[in-house]
Amino acid sequence: MKRGVSILGASGSVGESTLKILRQFPEEFRLISFSVHSNLQKAESIAKEFQPDVLCISSETADRTILGNKIGNTKVLYGSKSLEEIVSDPECETVVTAVVGASGIRPTVAAIRAGKKIGIANKETLVSCGPYIRSLLENSKSSLVPVDSEHNALFQLLENMKKDSLERIVLTASGGPFRKLPVEDLPKVTIEQALKHPTWNMGPKITIDSAGMINKGLEVIEAHFLFGFSYDKIGVVIHPQSVAHGLVETKDGASFVYASYPDMIFPVAHSLYYPKIVPNVLRSHPATSWGTLEFLEPDMERYPGLALAYEAGRAGGTAPSIFNASNEVAVELFLQGKILFTDIPSLIRNVLEKIPNSFPNDLEGYEEADRKARELAFHFSKDKVVNLC
């Protein structure tokens, strides 16, 4: 019997990679449902090709007259609440959460409560309310299989290693497009320059995050909740070639490295098939083609957002949620041309300093911290964020 798959965020890069796998292995998987935010043309195209039971347009302002309530035999739902509905379908075995930002939290919670296997690519869920998510998982049949290339690499390495041999895990990062740019020139960075990622083809929000390595900071917090390592045992190295995705260091001084061609089809296929083995070679990439591999320490003066992420993670409670929410606002303001690239970490630090940290027992507590952070971030932006720190 084919395994049912639901994709949240089918029009993004991870969503498109998931659709590639479904095309390559049609005898294994069936697309039960999917969502896009507002790309109605893409939604119609996917619906006609895969003929799922349901699709969701998550935007609250989408024109409902364009697609109507049905495309062939595919039912069309509207609004963000519909995301929670489609992930609870009993025919769905795996939910791939590829939406960007805090909007992925509620549907991920619904998928956990429904006992689904979750291919999690929405890092904000664990960053914003990691303790709450971990408590849900303890009382659920649900499981998380990370889809981010770095976390998926570590997941595969750690699964085959003895816990008492482990010393540290290390996430790799490309360093973004400004790895060699003089620090004093960073305030002059344009939107167009920041959107030119040297390795990956991603959406604008994640690409901007990666340019300042804030994305890697979010991944550090996510790794803490996924794997249970303390922040002192989670490292980051710059690896411009993006061939090695994760490293595990052992107590005897050895390092184990997961390497593959930088293509999201590898972690996506692993998450869909898990715990089974992916049967086919997706793309050959022998070691002889890797060339020279570099591993460099990140400069925290160049990447202050990464240092802030470690601070927020160590603080715990709602600090990571505040970090994530203020960053989402800051990135949007930068993409609108309202603040400088270097204002992004400045804004985050100011919001973190102004909002008291708390330790909620429920999802609403984390959502309230998220709301306050966004409100304050917008307030700071009106008063000129430049040089706030």
Q: Return the H-helix or E-strand segment holding 4.
A: strand 3-8
Which 3 state secondary structure label does DSSP give 272? helix
With beta carbons less than 8 A apart as the criterion, state whether 367 and 109 touch.
no
| 39 is known to lie in a ligand binding site | yes
| 58 is known to lie in a ligand binding site | no
- Return per-residue pLDDT of the chain as tens, 389 residues: 899 999 999 999 899 999 999 999 999 999 999 999 999 999 999 999 999 999 999 999 999 999 999 999 999 999 999 999 999 999 999 999 999 888 899 999 999 999 999 999 999 899 999 999 999 999 999 999 999 999 999 999 999 899 999 999 999 999 999 999 999 999 999 999 999 987 777 789 989 999 999 999 999 999 999 999 999 999 999 999 999 999 999 999 999 999 998 889 999 999 999 999 998 767 777 888 888 999 999 999 999 999 999 999 999 999 999 999 999 999 999 999 999 999 999 999 999 999 999 999 999 999 999 999 999 999 876 665 444 43
With beta carbons less than 8 A apart as the criterion, state whether 10 and 35 touch.
yes
Write out pLDDT tens, residues 244-288. 999 999 999 999 999 998 889 999 999 999 999 998 767 777 888
CA distance 330 to 366: 19
166-173 vs 117-120, strand pairing mode = unpaired
| 122 is known to lie in a ligand binding site | yes
Q: How many CB atoms lie within 10 A of CB 192?
A: 7
CA distance 23 to 301: 44
| 215 is known to lie in a ligand binding site | yes
At CA 347, angle to CA 341 and CA 353, rounded to 5? 155
pLDDT reported for residue 383: 62
| 270 is known to lie in a ligand binding site | no
CA distance 10 to 66: 19
Which pTM does this prediction carry? Answer: 0.94
Structure tokens that stand for 322 in this block: 């505040």
pLDDT reported for residue 1: 83
Give helix 265-273 / helix 149-159 axis angle, nearest 10°.
50
| 13 is known to lie in a ligand binding site | yes
| 140 is known to lie in a ligand binding site | no
* Alpha-carbon radius of gyration of the chain: 20
Amino acid in the structure at residue 113: R
| 285 is known to lie in a ligand binding site | no
| 216 is known to lie in a ligand binding site | yes
Structure tokens that stand for 2 in this block: 């084919």
Q: How many CA atoms lie within 13 A of 336 on its CB side?
A: 11
The DSSP bridge partners found for residue 70 are 75
Length of the chain: 389
| 289 is known to lie in a ligand binding site | no
* DSSP string computed for 29-91: EEEEEEEESS-HHHHHHHHHHH--SEEEE--TT--HHHHTTEETTEEEEESTHHHHHHTT-TT
Q: Which domains does the chain have, with CATH numbers?
A: 3-146 (3.40.50.720), 148-313 (no CATH), 316-388 (1.10.1740.10)
Structure tokens that stand for 152 in this block: 């998926």
| 219 is known to lie in a ligand binding site | yes
| 260 is known to lie in a ligand binding site | no
C-alpha to C-alpha distances, 316 to 43, 343, 348, 357, 361, nearest whole angstrom: 38, 24, 16, 8, 13
| 301 is known to lie in a ligand binding site | no
Which 3 state secondary structure label does DSSP give 109? helix
pLDDT reported for residue 281: 66
CA distance 103 to 61: 15
Q: Return the H-helix or E-strand segment holding 130.
A: helix 124-138
